[in-house]
Amino acid sequence: MAVGWRQIEEDATATLADGEKDTSRATDHTATILLNHDYGNVFDNPRRQPYDYVDFVAELNIGGTFSLENVQIRGNLFSWPLGDKSSPNHVLALVQHFEYMNNTACKFGRQSIGPALLSRFRLSDRFTLKTRVDGVVGLLLAGINSEYSFLADVPNQERLREYDYGPGLGAAASASLLFRDRPLLTALYRFDWVSVTSGSVYDKGDAALGLDANHYIQAAGVRLVIPVKGALGIGGDFYEFLRNCDFTFTDSVTGQEKVEHVRQHNPQVRVYVARTSR
């Protein structure tokens, strides 16, 4: 658990079909509360039953537009130890993912299933390196806010849907250096592709309804927590969110197909006092 301060910036540029660019920028400062919790031990677990290992992340930001801005849950449906089954250093798992993100920069959510490889490397008596690679081959459904929802022809504007929905693919990787079984330095990267099948102004297979769209989402981050005394530490992290979206539509006058591109860049910085457990 950690308590501190956060700054997030929004930098969005839309490149229109005629070549013109529309840019918007904003910065948000909030107090932040972070919660990271792991249930079970993915390595030293003799049962290997569904949800014997679950990791949970939540982010509460006070003073912003939204309070609960981020929730991530990953649970192992099945897992298989590789190598020494009594004390494996590598585990292959089938994982169910749930994610919710809602802040001034972006709105994104997904439910998916995919394989994961979790590994640990004992570097010394004090240091351990843990890595994780996820392949989200079954992104069952993802939703992301659409910049073109205002084009939707909705009789009752209170029922205007501002999100694009669709399946896709994704992958993620992370590495964490532990000091005496407590996280010291962590780095991560992820990529998601969402192919819109039910958009705010588009349904695939019926071009008359609006825009075709593809969303490409990348995120990378690094976190450092320096132990001070016992379980207390001082930490900070830098998180980068990059989103590229291609909207394809047919010009009603010329009949030509055109593409408009939206690039969204959102850096985030946090500093906090953290309490970690083994």
- Residue 99 confidence (pLDDT): 92
Fill in the DSSP letter of residue 151.
G
For residues 243-259, average pLDDT: 72
Q: How far is CA 228 from CA 182, 184, 233, in A?
A: 12, 12, 5
For residues 245-271, average pLDDT: 78
- Residue 152 confidence (pLDDT): 40
Q: How far is CA 248 from CA 142, 153, 215, 218, 253, in A?
A: 19, 18, 12, 21, 15
Average pLDDT value for the chain: 83
- Residue 102 confidence (pLDDT): 86
Please check the confidence at residue 12 and state whether its pLDDT lies above 80. Answer: no
For residues 206-227, average pLDDT: 78
List pLDDT tens digits, range 133-174: 998 766 678 888 776 544 444 344 444 457 788 888 899 999
Candidates 1.20.120, 1.10.287, 2.20.28, 2.40.128; CATH matching 2-275: 2.40.128
Q: How many CB atoms lie within 10 A of CB 161?
A: 15
Greater pLDDT, 124 or 141 = 124
CB within 8 Å of 34: residues ≥ 6 apart: 1, 2, 3, 4, 57, 58, 59, 60, 270, 272, 274
CA pair distance 47, 236, nearest whole angstrom: 36
- Residue 200 confidence (pLDDT): 58
- Global pTM exceeds 0.75: yes
Mean pLDDT is lowest, of 98-102, 142-146, 256-260, for: 256-260
Cβ(239)–Cβ(267) below 8 Å: yes
Give domain limits for the chain.
2-275
Mean pLDDT is lowest, of 41-55, 71-85, 161-175, 227-241, for: 161-175
- Residue 226 confidence (pLDDT): 95
Please check the confidence at residue 45 and state whether its pLDDT lies above 90. Answer: no
Confidence of residue 33 (pLDDT cuts 50, 70, 90): very high
Please check the confidence at residue 206 and state whether its pLDDT lies above 60. Answer: no
Greater pLDDT, 20 or 244 = 244
